[in-house]
Amino acid sequence: MALAWCFESEQTPAVMAVLDRVSEHGAHAPALWPMEMANGLATAQRRKRLTATQRARLAGLVQALPVRVDPGSAMLTWGAIAVLAERYELSVYDAAYPELAIRLALPLASLDKPLRAAAVSAGVALVE
């Protein structure tokens, strides 16, 4: 969902409402989130969706958001995260998100349908 904030064509009212919520109240993300965001912006630049200047500006805006990156995610990769990945047929990367939501008892914000379905099956509430 966070990458959708960066592209006008993906900025639905629901997506922007989550950005407003994160801006006001903050959010939590697994340790890989900054790398995923940076990679998404880099990929968009390579595909000519962004210029280097736009990429740098968006990277600055994303970094300024009150997102608390969870340092414990990396240590749980071989345990709880891998178990969720196997159980719900997710990538280990994707399974890091519901694991964190479960551990912190927080809802999950995602546009990824398989990830959303897995989160619901695991008892995680979704941000609508």
Q: What is the pLDDT of residues 61-110, one digit of tens each?
A: 999 999 999 998 989 999 999 999 999 999 999 999 999 999 999 999 99
Q: Is residue 56 part of a domain?
A: yes
CATH number of the domain where residue 70 is located: 3.40.50.1010
Domain total for the chain? 1
**Helix intervals (H) in the chain:** 13-25, 33-46, 52-64, 82-88, 92-104, 113-121
Contact present, 30 and 68 (Cβ < 8 Å): no
Contact present, 67 and 29 (Cβ < 8 Å): yes
Confidence at 128, pLDDT banded by 50, 70, 90: confident
Q: Is residue 45 part of a domain?
A: yes
Contact present, 73 and 31 (Cβ < 8 Å): yes
Above 90 in pLDDT, residue 18? yes
Q: Is residue 86 part of a domain?
A: yes
Structural domain for 58, as ranges: 2-121
What is the rounded distance in angstroms from the CA atom of residue 108 to the CA atom of residue 111?
10
Q: pLDDT tens-digit profile of 23-45?
A: 999 999 999 999 999 999 999 99
